Structure 1
């Protein structure tokens, strides 16, 4: 579809656009961000800038990632494909080894909309042996740190820590021999002393250049700006810690595994144990002081990244770009803060999978609106393509997402009756989330259905997931498994099969 044929569609969607080009796109990606935001009803959060962003668009109250870990979730976003359709399940999964001809969201916008595509900060996951996907963008990626400390005492005198090595692809075969960095620090520092401040500054600079190009020749931009906090370590300037009274922050209400949950679904330790002073033994208890400090660090880090997002949105307004730019605020997955006795992510439970999702679509989505339409990360790609008047994504990778455009126009419209996500452990857990229930089926891909272990949770009766109800409610299990059976069988976990050479 050529540019001229796009213009009638554009006029229908955004009558305020410049007639020479489709809308710009600004993706704001935030690592490990759960809906612990004022706009989502968290009264303890200090997030005025994201709250104002949400007031300009539609808030999705039941949005879910497709896999609760960084690299696969970002593949889900950029491909419109679920992990079960691509087998890109791991932090070290390499997109082009599995799908060499995949067309990512920025590539789609460049090809069909003429967008200049740019990435700043954490967009694709880089680290754990992964190098991201440079070919997705028109210009080289602006990379900054994920793991960053200012105080040498946080790294045992400036040593390379385990997580720093993982995220910079250093000494990957020696990780356990390296020291642990601290889980938090709160120095008297400026915003740009940490990476997210520098990412905000670079994004503002890129927006200025994009505004000039838009004025000179009509070139639209597609900018993905990725922020790393509140990902561990919780390192943020002291001023953001001081915004919160730790005694008033929420503490976990239920810290046991759900009664009757299968062993494969459970988690202790993991990522959190890579940081000092967290106990390294999976069965070790956290002191009340440690739990409070970690939760304080998460809220402080969220307030810090909120301020950086505010700088970006202020620039969008100052440059006169707001009315012709689609904006998405997206958390790559949720985060456990001690609920069920779990910290970080890597589960199929609610806190790891529910995410904030806000879409600003001037002239389409009513400012300050919200919806209970279940949404998935994979829906963002087809939604933005529809809003921009571009062809729907068609691969060659499998495209599992659906456009949320009808919902943006009418919050009561429905385009799906459940959300789907997964997590791989010794078995693969495939899950569906309806407005009331979550069902998880744990089995090896390709194995018979009767080999599966099942979890069922009722969020009206038990929002804290205290008990697996699968054996008590067989009729509900049968109904939800029938919905799950509508999905194709998951691709197996493991490396891609090597292609046989032709004789």
Structure 2
């Protein structure tokens, strides 16, 4: 499942997801908003939930000037699973990268998702059965559409632009990125326009990201306030997590789709009454797959057992004692014209780029030292062969990717910069 068009039930028809695991043990499971990334060929997974999904928009505008009067923008079409027009999605018009109308929170999808989630909590309070609710919020995903009051929280003159806007010295071409998703939005130069993002525009985009983050923070607050108001907070586990990080001009990159730090470092916040301590944190490396066994243990359920592989480990020992350690590295992967598989330790990140199944010697390697070079300015793989060998040995524990339906991955002729 390495692409948005990969369908869970075609790859693992009998897979047991987190909500299915909870449903099997008596929980009512519900989903709202951006869950399972519906769009870009993905239809979601209705089998995971007890009731129909509460669908909302991901790409949304209130200001009429932000999109064409008729038809869909590129990103709207992709998130609505519309067929590609002749010539491809790039033939469709672009929408705005940001807008800041003076509107109420519920003018946008995240506000409506928060409001509906509160209603679901109120209903859950009246029922006897335990509940498992997944509320998916879109912001701060592009476009940075957020009410004006959240933009007004910040003085754009105080935003600092990225300290390093150059690609890492010695990085392989396949690892690099220029343009991409950000160019689906105006006034960013379009994909065929060689113009770069100006400092003025970069500052506006950063402002939009911060405004969008504050907006979604307020919506999450509405949900957690409801838990308190309904006297559910003392008996409810809350996990807040994101599916990826976000480049804001560092390395000259915007959005995600890389194996660098800013795209792969995500928030994972866990509140478990009687287990976690307020205002505590840990330097424990973790992966999103750890959430499944962690939630199961916190809820007193049996550990998940598949039938699909369960790669995560429970973080409960760390939640009880932030100094505990349950793993010494994290694995992540991002596929481009080669598969990029990575190992992140507290100090280093190694990325191996090669076609799945190809000989080891065909790989292109990146190595970054975050103690000495936190901004990833230089690939030091050539200068540290012993560290590369050690981390590749860890990487070898993880199976390589196979193609969809178990077929070998197709090889490509070249590696181009995205």
Settle same-fold status: TM greater than 0.5.
Answer: yes
Alignment map for 1:72-221 (pairs within 5 Å) = 88-112=1-25, 114-173=26-85, 174-213=88-127, 217=128, 219-221=129-131
Residue 207 of structure 2: aligned partner: 296
Q: Deviations over 1:422-478 (max 9, x none)?
A: 010111011000000000011111111111110000001000000000001111111
Residue 235 of structure 1: aligned partner: 145
Q: How far 1:156 moved relative to its partner?
A: 2.5
Contact 1:89-1:493 within 8 A present in 2 as well: no
From 259, 271, 276, the equivalent of 2:186 is 276
Residue 345 of structure 2: aligned partner: 434
Rounded Cα–Cα distance in structure 2 between residues aligned with 1:429 and 1:230: 25
Q: Deviations over 1:357-412 (max 9, x none)?
A: 11111111122111111000000000010111111111111110000111111111
From 441, 454, 459, the equivalent of 2:370 is 459
Residue 470 of structure 1: aligned partner: 381
Aligned alpha-carbon RMSD (Å): 1.3
Q: How far 1:282 moved relative to its partner?
A: 7.0
Q: Which runs of 4+ in 1 moved over 3 A?
A: 493-498
Q: What runs of 5+ residues in structure 2 fail to find an aligned partner?
A: 409-418
- Cα 1:497–1:439 change in 2 (3 A) is closer
Q: What runs of 5+ residues in structure 1 fail to find an aligned partner?
A: 1-87, 499-503
Residue 370 of structure 1: aligned partner: 281
Contact 1:269-1:282 within 8 A present in 2 as well: no
> 3-state DSSP class of the match of 2:375?
coil
Alignment map for 1:399-414 (pairs within 5 Å) = 399-414=310-325
From 336, 341, 355, the equivalent of 2:252 is 341
> 3-state DSSP class of the match of 1:332?
coil
Q: How far 1:247 moved relative to its partner?
A: 1.0
Contact 1:152-1:158 within 8 A present in 2 as well: no
Contact 1:387-1:405 within 8 A present in 2 as well: yes
Task: Kindly indicate whether residue 173 of structure 2 is the aligned counterpart of residue 259 of structure 1.
Answer: no
Rounded Cα–Cα distance in structure 1 between residues aligned with 2:256 and 2:155: 25
Corresponding residue pairs, total: 405
Contact 1:249-1:296 within 8 A present in 2 as well: yes
> 3-state DSSP class of the match of 2:398?
coil
Q: How far 1:170 moved relative to its partner?
A: 1.6
Q: Which has the higher strand share?
A: 1
> 3-state DSSP class of the match of 1:420?
strand
> 3-state DSSP class of the match of 1:373?
coil
Rounded Cα–Cα distance in structure 2 between residues aligned with 1:408 and 1:165: 41
Rounded Cα–Cα distance in structure 2 between residues aligned with 1:364 and 1:161: 46
Q: TM-score, normalised by structure 1?
A: 0.79
Q: How far 1:158 moved relative to its partner?
A: 4.5
Q: How far 1:167 moved relative to its partner?
A: 0.4
Residue 412 of structure 2: aligned partner: none
Contact 2:11-2:404 within 8 A present in 1 as well: no
Task: Kindly indicate whether residue 229 of structure 2 is the aligned counterpart of residue 312 of structure 1.
Answer: no
> 3-state DSSP class of the match of 2:267?
strand
Rounded Cα–Cα distance in structure 1 between residues aligned with 2:90 and 2:169: 33
Q: How far 1:283 moved relative to its partner?
A: 4.5
Task: Kindly indicate whether residue 327 of structure 2 is the aligned counterpart of residue 416 of structure 1.
Answer: yes
Q: How far 1:487 moved relative to its partner?
A: 1.9
Rounded Cα–Cα distance in structure 2 between residues aligned with 1:447 and 1:134: 37
Q: How far 1:492 moved relative to its partner?
A: 2.3
